Amino acid sequence: MINRNVIFHWRFAWLLLLGLLSAAASARDTLLILGDSLSAGYRLPVAQAWPTLLAQRWQAQQDLPQVVNASVSGDTVAQGFARLPALLQQHQPRWVLIELGANDGLRGFPVANITADLSQVIELVQQAGAKPLLMQINIPPNYGRRYTDAFSALYPALAQRFAIPLLPFFMPQVALKPHWMQDDQLHPNQAAQPFIATWMAEQLTAVIQP
- Which of 26, 179, 183, 184 is the catalytic position? 184
- Which of 36, 37, 75, 117 is the catalytic position? 37
Alpha carbon separation from 90 to 83, 86, 113, 128, 164 (Å, rounded): 11, 6, 28, 12, 23
CA atoms within 13 A on the CB side of 77: 27
> Does the annotation count 117 as an active-site position?
no
Strand-strand pairing, 66-69 and 95-99? unpaired
Give the largest CA-CA distance in the chain. Answer: 88
Alpha carbon separation from 36 to 5, 51, 129, 166 (Å, rounded): 59, 12, 23, 17
> Does the annotation count 37 as an active-site position?
yes
> Cα 178 to the chain's mean position, in Å?
25
> Does the annotation count 187 as an active-site position?
yes
Catalytic residue numbers, as ranges: 37, 184, 187
